[in-house]
Amino acid sequence: MSIDKNLITHFDYAEEAEAAQRAGAWPQAAALWRRAADVLRASARQSPETFDLYAKYQAAGEACDAKHRVERIVEDIAKTRLDIPTLRTRKSDRLDFHELSVWILKEALLAAYEAGRDEAH
């Protein structure tokens, strides 16, 4: 069955973006928010409501990009400072629980703090 792309509205993309956000799929959510904005801009007559919704979609895409950046930074700290290969749950005590010294944990927390401070600037 073929789907006519003209029948897909910005609301459809926004709904999919929300679902991707709930799943923590930040890059996909950001792309879907931007697609919703593009479809809205291409299909709607310009009005204050359209402009507000377009801005909302763009802001949601940027927020998803920011969440993804933070996740990448935290994953990198886990790999480089804590020697933890992934922060994904693997449903195994051996893989999901790690014994760490307090000085290594302190180093990782300080790295996270520095990364947050750098991101704010």
In this predicted model, what pLDDT tens digit does every residue of 68-114 receive, in sequence order?
999 999 999 999 999 999 999 999 999 999 999 999 999 999 999 99
Q: Check residue 1 and give its pLDDT.
A: 47
Residue 107 Cα distances to 46, 73, 87, 91, angstroms = 52, 14, 17, 27
Q: Check residue 54 and give its pLDDT.
A: 93
In this predicted model, what pLDDT tens digit does every residue of 1-54 receive, in sequence order?
455 556 889 999 999 999 999 999 999 999 999 999 999 988 867 777 888 999
Q: Check residue 90 and give its pLDDT.
A: 95
Considering only residues 121 and 2, tell me which one the structure prediction assigns the higher pLDDT: 121
Radius of gyration of the chain (CA): 20
